[in-house]
């Protein structure tokens, strides 16, 4: 178990951490987030053809560079969501094992901004060489952030890289999901709120082409949002005692829009 978790749930410190990085994910919904979580806006991400949006921020107190992506808000985003064919995980600077596959829509969205993200982060690290890296996102943004997090870890292997995703649909096949687990361990934080159906929309496959979640899942299994009501799940990503038990027909529901007591539409700019 991760340090800080308890038999009844997780620690207050970890709960606050998960909530803090959700605030970055929410703030991608602002037209321009001039001060994400009260920190420095380094660059706004906006690629019109794929409607991939978000920002790169810098927290000089925590010594972090944060890359955050917006969830589904447009028809273009919805089109990205339904491009569910798995394709080889090919992205600048990423070297996964043979057989690694990823959702083509999510990969296309990230790759449309990958070079810009990597070059901006590289420039920041030249100025702030002791800073760590974080990727965050909700829903579609969570899927993109999971690829971005892997991209940051692979391109900057000597930096401490963490990812925080919320309501993320399955993004990788089994080979790629296990690769994410192997390079991140408990530095990958994937949150699911009660019966949010989006994480289960793409069912787990039993073939190399099938989808699988990466870990570590933090499942708020009941209301209200408190540390004691969040379960630390099996780090392999597919714990049958956690959100995997949610039937996929739940789909996009009220639970999808709220995490850690914060509701989609709120911004922290």
So which residues are the catalytic ones? 139, 196, 256
The two three-digit tokens of residue 133, written as one number: 């890296």
In 3D space, the residue among 175, 192, 89 whose CA is nearest the CA of residue 138 turns out to be 192
User: Could you tell me which residues come within 8 angstroms of residue 4 by beta carbon, excluding any fewer than 6 positions away?
Assistant: 10, 11, 13, 14
Whether cis (ω within 30° of 0) applies to the bond prior to 224 is yes
Peptide bond into 216 cis (omega under 30): yes
DSSP for residue 163: E
Strands 188-193 and 217-220: parallel
Q: What are the extents of the domains in the chain?
A: 5-263
- Paired tokens of 24: 């970055």
**Of 134, 256, 267, 123, which Cα lies nearest the Cα of 201?**
256
pLDDT in tens, the chain (269 residues): 344 444 459 999 999 999 999 999 999 999 899 999 999 999 999 999 998 999 999 999 999 999 999 987 767 766 567 678 899 999 999 999 999 999 999 999 999 999 999 999 999 999 999 999 999 999 999 999 999 999 999 999 999 999 999 999 999 999 999 999 999 999 999 999 999 999 988 877 766 668 999 999 999 999 999 999 999 999 999 999 999 887 665 667 899 999 999 998 899 99
C-alpha gyration radius of the chain: 17
- Please name which of 200, 30, 183, 202 lies closest in space to residue 105, comparing C-alpha atoms: 202
Domain 5-263: which CATH number of 1.10.10.10, 3.40.50.10860, 3.40.50.1820, 3.40.50.720: 3.40.50.1820
């Amino acid at each position: 178990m991760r340090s800080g978790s308890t038999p009844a749930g997780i620690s207050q410190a970890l709960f606050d951490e998960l909530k803090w990085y959700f605030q970055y994910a929410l703030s991608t919904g602002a037209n321009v987030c001039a001060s994400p979580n009260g920190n420095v806006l380094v660059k706004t991400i906006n690629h019109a053809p794929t409607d991939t949006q978000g920002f790169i921020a810098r927290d000089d107190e925590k010594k972090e560079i944060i890359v955050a992506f917006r969830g589904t808000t447009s028809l273009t985003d919805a089109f990205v969501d339904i491009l569910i064919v798995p394709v080889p995980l090919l992205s600048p600077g990423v070297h996964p094992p043979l057989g690694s596959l990823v959702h083509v829509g999510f990969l296309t969205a990230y790759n449309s901004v990958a070079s810009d993200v990597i070059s901006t982060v590289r420039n920041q690290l030249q100025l702030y060489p002791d800073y760590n890296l974080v990727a965050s996102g909700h829903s579609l943004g969570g899927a993109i952030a999971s690829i971005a997090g892997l991209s940051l870890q692979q391109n900057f292997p000597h930096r401490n890289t963490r990812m925080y995703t919320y309501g993320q649909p399955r993004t990788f096949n089994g080979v790629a999901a296990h690769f994410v687990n192997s390079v991140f361990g408990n530095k990958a934080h994937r949150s699911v709120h009660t019966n949010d159906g989006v994480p289960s929309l793409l069912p787990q496959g039993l073939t190399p082409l099938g989808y699988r979640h990466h870990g570590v899942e933090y499942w708020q299994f009941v209301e209200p949002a408190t540390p004691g009501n969040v379960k630390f799940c099996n780090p392999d990503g597919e714990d049958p005692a956690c959100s995997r038990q949610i039937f996929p027909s739940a789909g996009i529901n009220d639970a999808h829009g709220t995490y850690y007591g914060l509701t989609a539409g709120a911004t922290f700019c």
